Amino acid sequence: MILFELVPFEALRVIWWLLLGVLLIGFALTDGFDMGVGALLPFAGKTDTERRVIINTVGPVWEGNQVWFILGGGAIFAAWPPLYAVSFSGFYLAMFLILVALILRPVAFKYRSKREGERWRRNWDWALFIGGALPALLFGVAVGNVLLGVPFHLTPDLMPIYDGGLFGKLFGLLRPFALLCGVVSLAMLVMHGAGWLVLKTDGAVQARARDFGQKAALVVLVGYALAGLWLAFGISGYAFVTEPPHDGPSNPLLSEVTRSASWFAAYGERPWIAIAPVLGFVGTFMARRALVGGEVSPLLWSKLGIFGMISSVGLVMFPFILPSYLDPNSSLTVWDASSSHMTLFVMLVAGVIFLPIILAYTAWVYRVLWGKVTADAVEDPHSHSY
């Protein structure tokens, strides 16, 4: 028997759906607090020294945290090629803005302290704000559009055609529900960033981070609840009329899909998935309480809340990955949008080898860099701080 046949094709598809979720959640949990800290920078730091303290809480780790973003993009490209083709072309302008914002961040880190001028440093501080707030907002907008459905269809030879038009690839994404998801995403990462600042700073910066974090957590709780009600009663979901074979060829046109009453029908079919939104609410509520006092717990609770909220989207949509509202039959699902059996197996072997190494190295880095960043440390002329 050929080695890759030891793991069924159906199982590999589900495994890679789970791994994609792990990579995306890993990105939100790690680089998410970097973006949240950037969004808080102009407000939590009032003096140049305070802002340097804030910057240096994430300065040593942000590059490593972005590995999860790269891994997520690579996993989409290799494991789900149609998803990569449709999403990266359909969301092209939005992705371009995200990449520009993410590029601003390392440039701002490197150049901010090259000159002492107040205007110079203030401009780079706002660049760091854009580098944190804009991706956090647009990632949420993208998730909202995935739940609503995307305007694409597949030709008979499976070529994806995005019908949104050039400006539709940006402004067409700014639908009310998607914007609400963007606000929830931004507030969620601001809350997460506040939890990180509470852990890594003290004094006035920590106090301001607690204040902004509590407000952001309240926005998350209200926004997530509103999004759930909207999704339950105002947005149609998707369902199979004819389900494709789970180990069949990757051809979405072999199945028949229709619009359903609501995505929430998934809770009736799989009641256990309700644990995800419960974790989202509990984690966020407890993070808000912990931001009143305590240092480590706000970050841990916010991680739980983020895990629950992101998981709730994937679980309620399963097995759909990217639905099409123009042609539901072109919708991409776990069962008909993956790479080949052998490709998924080879990638799984590589993942089993290298993912633990990445996790071990990341844990070691955080252990070495554990501790608070102080004003004395960043002002020390012999330090290597930003």
Average pLDDT, integer, range 138-166: 88
Average pLDDT, integer, range 300-316: 96
The answer to whether the predicted template modeling score (pTM) of the entire model surpasses 0.95 is no
What is the C-alpha to C-alpha distance for residues 267 and 258, in angstroms, rounded to an integer? 18
**What DSSP element (H or E) covers 255?**
none
Residue with more model confidence, 256 or 89: 256
Rounded to the nearest integer, the mean pLDDT of the chain is 90
Q: What pLDDT score does 373 carry?
A: 85
The model's confidence at residue 44, banded by pLDDT at 50, 70 and 90, is: very high
CB of 28 closer than 8 Å to CB of 193: no
Cis bond upstream, residue 319 (ω within 30): yes
What is the distance in angstroms between the CA of the first residue and the CA of the last residue of the chain? 57
CB of 330 closer than 8 Å to CB of 153: yes
Least confident segment among 198-202, 292-296, 329-333? 292-296
Map out the domains of the chain as residue ranges.
Answer: 3-379
Q: What pLDDT score does 331 carry?
A: 93
What is the three-class DSSP state of 239? strand
Give the pLDDT confidence of 246-290 residue by residue, as tens digits. Answer: 998 999 998 899 988 789 999 999 999 999 999 999 999 999 999
Q: How far is CA 267 from CA 112, 149, 261, 273, 318, in A?
A: 49, 20, 13, 7, 11
Q: What pLDDT score does 62 carry?
A: 84
Q: How far is CA 344 from the centre of its chain?
A: 23
Q: Which residue has the tokens 């994806």?
A: 160
